[in-house]
Chains A and B, each alone.
Chain A
């Protein structure tokens, strides 16, 4: 079956094209990319709106198995489709965690049954995410895990991490750890500084991230493994990162959209929807991260979607669960940077679609013949006020509730099939 998407503004981060055009879709793939005036054929008129590869989100927490009251694959899939995310990678922090090949298969099967978008998983780097015993890397990868990570958990022992990395090198596996020094960050719920001190909240210094990243990068140099810093948030992490690149280490890094659009001042009223891990940073860190995204020091923007139910958030700030949903606000939040002229639309789709896809070894994130027709049609200008009750996620813990946003998803396609809009 052949169909056309016509009169669009195409954004292709692969070829760097931003201009008018049309796509011909056949058998779930992009069959032809027509740049310039659209041909006079039957098809969907995109009315000059932006047609781009669907977003690829490297860091999403789903409550399945174990916490479907927070989010199931069905609701996460619906939220992703509504947000223009056509592929995401679920983190292994579930109950039980994904440290066993059978659990990886179970999660992938459930995801396939319940969701229309493409869902992959990371396998646990250590058994039980405890940071002690290496998991069965080969079996997890054979079961379908795209890489290995302990999610939000940090491996305290350099010895264990080094062994995991050396073993992963032998399998050419990607490992994607969180980078917060646990001896500094355990028990903290804010970043050290004036705001945390005024609020009287236990805080960790921003340097906790730099310390952990430096350790990891020293071990990457030592073992030669493929490494992806799952979520960086501080200016101090950028220098070690660029030094690692200059040494030709196989290193990439991501930041979350929340760390690009919010800062520590947002927690001023003890609003627990702004409690995330790592905690929101200073404005100068936020600006440094945006600049790092712009110039390419940071490769990937992720949503770090982390659904938490009302009960877990209706607690004193210190006690409340950490995390914010992000799948459905991913695009409009990213567009804040575009509307502020901080990054271009092309760069946005490089960071939130092409680069993550490439790093994960997938073939999406690009508008080229032969690529899967995983597409996103959106109006970058359309304004709206976010109402959290209208989110498709089972949990509604968004930090953007009642905020003005700009950018609406009009349609989402996965393998040529429309999964949202229309």
Chain B
């Protein structure tokens, strides 16, 4: 039984929780493929998407998910600049809480900010990404995509390649995939690996060819533009040369290996267009589709627990 009040990260979830979320998500995938995509599961509920960091994809995905379930959805973009008017995160939380939302979807640029906010409100909180900490719905949609494509979510070899140090997607995916008993590899130059990564339970590669050998899944991460101007990598062309996913490098993975990317992609930096747009190998559009279903499942499960509390 899913017994959590919030979805703050993958860390608090059990393998059973993850399986339950994915099972329900499968049903929402079916619903989403129908002409009439609406159910009244969240009718009367208020969902606020509170984004302190700009996002189009994730916010749109949560908005569609909420609307398909019948919730009243409101989007709030609070960019960092307006927070500096003296209103703290806690003030914002207390203010919104007084309006009695039921579901609060939050993205924030600081690690731990969503946990902090969840302590101050009465509604269910969903983490839509906090700093470099966690992005649980991304890991869940990735898990769903893998499970549907590979027929299972255990004993697979999965390589995560790119800016591991600064990626919340990588952290949540590492946690989720290890909980489900997979072999997880990370591939990056040492400057983009977080310190202590050797204690995460993953295999660490700085050579991409070695890391890709015999993988079932290749998960690419976006190189943020600010990394390109810092001291972490010398240039995009050298990065592409060493860590860009090309057809040649992909050939080292299993013949049926799938290619994933959380988007938005930098074609020609971390991934070659030829690979990214190859519908036989790339499941990137499917990840977006699974995103809506996973978010519907999470909203559904958390709303169910709200009902029990009421």
Smallest CB separation, B10 vs chain A (Å): 12
With A311-B88, A314-B90, A315-B89 already in contact, the answer to whether A197 and B194 are too (CB < 8 A) is: yes
Contacts of A192 in B (CB 8 A): 195-196
Flag whether B295 is at the interface (Cβ < 8 A).
no
Number of A positions contacting B (CB below 8 A)? 21
- Least Cβ–Cβ distance between A338 and chain B, in angstroms: 32
In the bound complex, what is the Cα–Cα distance between A311 and B108 (angstroms)? 19
**In the complex, what residues of A have CB within 8 A of residue B70's CB?**
none
Asked whether B113 lies within 8 Å of A316 as measured between CB atoms, the reply is: yes
Would you call A318 and B196 a contact (CB within 8 A)?
A: no
By secondary structure, the A interface counts as loop
| Pairwise interchain contact B110-A197, C-beta atoms closer than 8 A | no
Are B115 and A193 interface neighbours, CB within 8 A?
no
CA distance A10 to B138 in the complex (A): 64
Task: Tell whether, in the assembled complex, residue B195 and residue A200 are in contact, meaning their CB atoms are under 8 Å apart.
Answer: no
Q: Mark B109-126, 1 if CB is under 8 A from A, else 0.
A: 011110110000000000
> Which residues of chain A from 370 to 416 have any CB-CB distance to chain B below 8 Å in the complex?
none
Q: Does A201 contact B (CB under 8 A)?
A: yes
Given A200-B134, A200-B168, A270-B116: A316 and B110 within 8 A (CB)?
Answer: yes
Which of A195, A205, A318: most chain B Cβ within 10 A?
A: A318
- B112's partner among A193, A203, A314, A316 (CB-CB below 8 A) is A316
Pick from B110, B130, B132, B196: contact of A194, CB under 8 Å: B196
Q: Is B222 an interface residue (CB 8 A)?
A: no
Of all chain A residues, the one with the shortest Cβ separation from B116 is A316
Pair B89/A316 contact, Cβ less than 8 Å: yes
Task: For residue A282, give the distance in angstroms from its CB to the closest CB of chain B.
Answer: 10
Q: Which residues of A have CB within 8 Å of B196?
A: 192-198
Cα distance A316–B93 when bound, in Å?
13
Known: A203-B195, A315-B88, A315-B89. A198 touches B171 (CB 8 A): yes
A199 sits at the interface (CB 8 A): yes
Residues from chain B with a CB closer than 8 A to the CB of A270 are: 111-112, 115-116
Chain A residues numbered 194-243 whose CB sits less than 8 Å from any CB in chain B:
194-201, 203, 205
Q: Which residues of A contact B199 (CB under 8 A)?
A: 194
Among B90, B108, B131, B197, which residue has its beta carbon within 8 angstroms of that of A197?
A: B197
* A254-310 interface with B by 8 A CB criterion: 269-270
Question: Is A88 in the interface zone, CB < 8 Å from B?
Answer: no
Q: Is the CB of A200 within 8 A of B89?
A: no
Complex Cα–Cα for A203 and B132 (A) = 12
Are A317 and B112 closer than 8 Å at their CB atoms? yes
A172 lies within 8 A of chain B by Cβ: no
Nearest-CB distance from A69 to chain B (Å)?
15
Q: Which residues on A sit within 8 Å (CB–CB) of B194?
A: 196-197
Min CB–CB distance B292 → chain A (angstroms):
26
Q: Which residues of B contact A198 (CB under 8 A)?
A: 171, 196, 200
A319, B115: Cα distance in complex, Å: 14
Question: What residue in chain A is nearest B88 (Cβ atoms)?
Answer: A315
In contact, A318 and B133 (Cβ under 8 angstroms): no
In angstroms, Cα B131 to Cα A316, docked, is 10
Instruction: For the complex, give the distance between the alpha carbons of A197 and B108 in Å.
Output: 18
- Bits for B173-212, please: 1 = Cβ < 8 Å to A, else 0: 0000000000000000000001111011000000000000
The 5 A-B pairs of least Cβ separation, nearest first, read A194-B196, A200-B132, A316-B110, A270-B112, A200-B133
A interface residue numbers (CB < 8 A to B): 192-201, 203, 205, 269-270, 311, 314-319
Sample of 12 more A-B contacts, CB < 8 Å, known A200-B171, A317-B110: A193-B196, A196-B194, A197-B200, A199-B112, A200-B111, A201-B112, A201-B131, A201-B132, A270-B111, A315-B90, A316-B110, A316-B111
What are 15 inter-chain pairs, A to B, with CB distance below 8 A? Answer: A194-B199, A196-B195, A197-B195, A197-B197, A199-B111, A200-B112, A200-B134, A200-B168, A201-B111, A270-B112, A270-B115, A315-B89, A316-B112, A316-B113, A318-B131
